[in-house]
Structure 1
Amino acid sequence: MGASQLFAQTDEQLIKATINQVFDGMRKNDSSMVREVLHPSCFLKSIGKTKTGEVKLQEDAILMWLKQIGTKREGVILDERLTSYDIKIDGEMAMAWTPYEFYVNDKFNHCGVDVFTLMKTDKGWKIVGIVDTRRKENCVK
């Protein structure tokens, strides 16, 4: 992509492209593709309920997540499909609310929402944090 094309894109388009690169990298088992759009201090957290119904915040180590992405499992395709984007921008900060459906080998597994916090840098938009929810019920398919 040439510089003139890059500048013609809106921040919203660039943010979508940044987020999409994460999921393209996941599908290709290419952790370097994912790492390219993450800020060095990026965090990954999940909000969910335990079996007893207690709401918990779980932090996942980014390096372990990247290792999982980069580990090809023969015959296994992990495919997180975003169903929409709600992007808010304030200067160099952005937030994207992205409901998703997660499939393993085209079989529905779970759904939820990813919330991305991004920062505009001299190298483009970088993801500084991801918080998600995961559930198997109340999924619109």
Structure 2
Amino acid sequence: MKITSLILVFVSSFLLAQKPEEELIKSTINQLFNGMKTSDSVLIKKSFSKNAVLQTITKTGEVKNENINDFAVSISNAEKQSLDERITFSNILIDGNLASAWTSYEFYYKGQFSHCGVNSFQLVKSNNEWKIQYIIDTRRKDNCKK
């Protein structure tokens, strides 16, 4: 009976410890999309690590790279509230200072549906902060839940 109780306590504490980390990871990712929605380049850049990578996969399977600073500047030039990427967290995996998050999304421009896809994030924890190290996404107009 005591061994079973100890195992339950250990497993419960491990799961509870993971939960706050998941929330911090979600917060970092949500910060990026809040920065996009408010056209705030500072908030966008704050979400990324120094040497982060941003990529997208085209319909033909080509992988395109995008510079983080250029991305932040282009978003900051958009009309506030015109860019709205609505994400749903599917899975977050954590091992020490490395995390992976998978989110499906629907993207709206000025309130009109534009496209959907999936984001795959790799995050690193440095100085007790989660930062996005890598994003790759898909983009499509079909098979979207609207």
- Alignment match, 2:140: 135
TM-score of the two chains, using structure 1 as the length reference: 0.86
- Alignment match, 1:68: 74
Question: 83-92 vs 130-139, which deviates more?
Answer: 83-92
1:91 aligns with 2:101: no
Q: Deviations over 1:68-99 (max 9, x none)?
A: 111133x7601000023310111110000000
- Alignment match, 1:105: 110
- 8 Å CA contact retained: 1:83, 1:101: no
Q: Which amino acid aligns with 2:29?
A: I
Within 5 Å, which residues of 2 pair with 1:21-100?
A: 21-49=31-59, 54-73=60-79, 77-100=82-105
Specify the structure having the higher radius of gyration (Cα).
Answer: 2
Cα gap change, 1:59 to 1:10, in 2 (>3 Å): same
Aligned counterparts of 2:78 and 2:85: Cα–Cα separation in 1: 16
Stretches of 4+ aligned residues off by more than 2 angstroms? none
- Alignment match, 1:116: 121
- Alignment match, 1:3: none
TM-score of the two chains, using structure 2 as the length reference: 0.83
Q: CA RMSD in A?
A: 1.7
Query: What secondary structure does 2:89 align onto?
Result: coil
Q: Higher helix share goes to which structure?
A: 2
Structure 1's unaligned 5+ residue stretches are 1-6
Percent pairwise identity: 43
* Number of aligned residue pairs: 129
- 8 Å CA contact retained: 2:31, 2:43: yes
